[in-house]
Amino acid sequence: MAQPRIILDNVCVARVGRADRPLPVLNHVSLAFGKREIVALVGHNGAGKTTLARTILGLYPLTEGCITYEGTPIRELSPGKIQMVFQPPSAQLIGQTIFEELALTALQRNSAITRAQLDVFVQHYADMVQLTVPIETSVYELSGGQLQRLCIAQALASGAKVLLFDESFAPLDDEARTALRKQLRTLAERHALTIVLITHDMEDVLIADRVVILDAGEVRLATDPQTFFYGEHGQTPRCATWGFRPPYIVDAALAANHRFGLSMRPLSEEELVEELLHVYALSH
């Protein structure tokens, strides 16, 4: 990997006014996020995942350490490079219709855009997240999942190079989740994006390049998904020791390894099916 895009060096964050109780703060967090990289940020409730994302966005003052974007401290960064999808989705919408929300983003990128181009732009991003209602629909008529899609569309449309998603896929149905995961992978490659997914869904970890476990404000592990799910040198995988429910294909691969005496470590259904076909082609 070339020079990482975002570097967190020994970052500490303390929350003011709550000295009496240890709330999620960040303790000496050092991480690097590269271009074309999808990082899954996992951890139990209250581990400080959202705090970390907001810190990267520059919303919390650091008590120690520094965060840089391609060498520039984020405080001095020209705006619009980093975007985040917050919780709850409705709080971050500025426009009152799907059109307005996305048109605004388009206008921020290029204020000379014409009305006709705006319509095309808005429809393109609405289609990308499978937001199938008319674009004039008021945001107050959208369901939770649809609002979430609109926020994701806005982040994608913003042209930012770093996108942070805070459990953005949780309220979506399987179809939308699967489609968006594929979409993110494609976008990350095509536009050299850095994507951070805060998630509890281990299926999201499958598409990531790296997984970071955060616990009580500290980075406990940063590894690739294969090591996370399948372990190394016969050790119990970290996924299991940390109490995460492994995805179905990992369970299936482990069961198949056991039955056929293999050592498969697939991260996608394609890989697993491919390897199983191989097993049967050899044995029959």
Partner 1 sequence: MSMLLAIDNLTVGTAPQRRLHGLTACVDKGEFIVVLGHNGAGKSTLLDVLAGVTVPTEGTLTWQRDDSKTAQANNALINRVGYLFQSPETGLFAGTVAEEFALTWSITPRQVHARAAEVQSLLRRVGLDAIELDDIPATWSTGMQRRMAIALVLAEDPQIVLLDEPSAGLDGWSQQQLLQTLQHMRDEGRTVIVATHDTDAFISLATRAWILADGALVYDGALSDLYAQPERLVTHRLGLPPSLRLQVRLVRVGLLDAPAVRDANTLVESLGPHHKPIDEATGATNPTTEIPDNSITKTNEHAGTVLSSHASVSLGYSQKPHGRLKIDSRSRWITVSLVTVAIALVHTPLGIVLGLCGTVALLIAFGASWRRVAKWSIVWGLFALFTTAIGATRVGPPFHPTAHDAFSFVTAGHALVSILPYWCFLQSSQLLVTGTTALEVQAMLEWILRFLHLPAQFRHLASLTGGIVYRFLPAVSQLYQVQLRAYRVRTLATRKRRFASLRLTHVLAPLVIRLIRYGETTHDALMARNLFTHPIPSAQLLPEKLRLRDWMVALIGFAFATAVVGIQWFV
State which of positions 2-31 bind partner 1 (CB under 8 A).
Answer: 18, 21, 23-24
Quick one: 54 or 185, whose CB is closer to partner 1? 54
Which of residues 44, 64, 65, 159 is near partner 1 by CB under 8 A?
Answer: 44
Is 133 an interacting residue with respect to partner 1 (CB under 8 A)?
yes
State which of positions 53-82 bind partner 1 (CB under 8 A).
Answer: 54, 57-59, 79-80, 82
List the structure tokens of 213: 């476990």
Kindly state the smallest distance separating residue 45's Cβ from partner 1, in Å.
Answer: 3
- Report CA-CA distances (Å) from 227 to 91, 197, 251, 262, 266: 37, 18, 14, 16, 11
- Report CA-CA distances (Å) from 268 to 97, 205, 264: 37, 11, 11
CA distance 211 to 175: 23
State which of positions 163-192 bind partner 1 (CB under 8 A).
Answer: 167, 170-179
Kindly state the smallest distance separating residue 62's Cβ from partner 1, in Å.
Answer: 16
Query: Which residues, other chains included, contact 142 with Cβ-Cβ below 8 Å and sequence gap of 6+?
Result: 98, 133, 150
Quick one: 225 or 247, whose CB is closer to partner 1? 247
Is 43 an interacting residue with respect to partner 1 (CB under 8 A)?
yes
Which of residues 55, 68, 146, 194 is near partner 1 by CB under 8 A?
Answer: 146
Is 97 an interacting residue with respect to partner 1 (CB under 8 A)?
yes
Total residues interacting with partner 1, rule: CB under 8 A: 88
Is 156 an interacting residue with respect to partner 1 (CB under 8 A)?
no
CA distance 232 to 248: 20
Which of residues 30, 138, 186, 241 is near partner 1 by CB under 8 A?
Answer: 138
Say which residue the tokens 């592990």 belong to.
221
CA distance 209 to 280: 30
Which of residues 27, 87, 183, 227 is near partner 1 by CB under 8 A?
Answer: 87
Which of residues 1, 66, 94, 192 is near partner 1 by CB under 8 A?
Answer: 94
CA distance 74 to 7: 10
For the sheet with 26-33, list strands across it.
26-33, 6-13, 64-69, 72-73
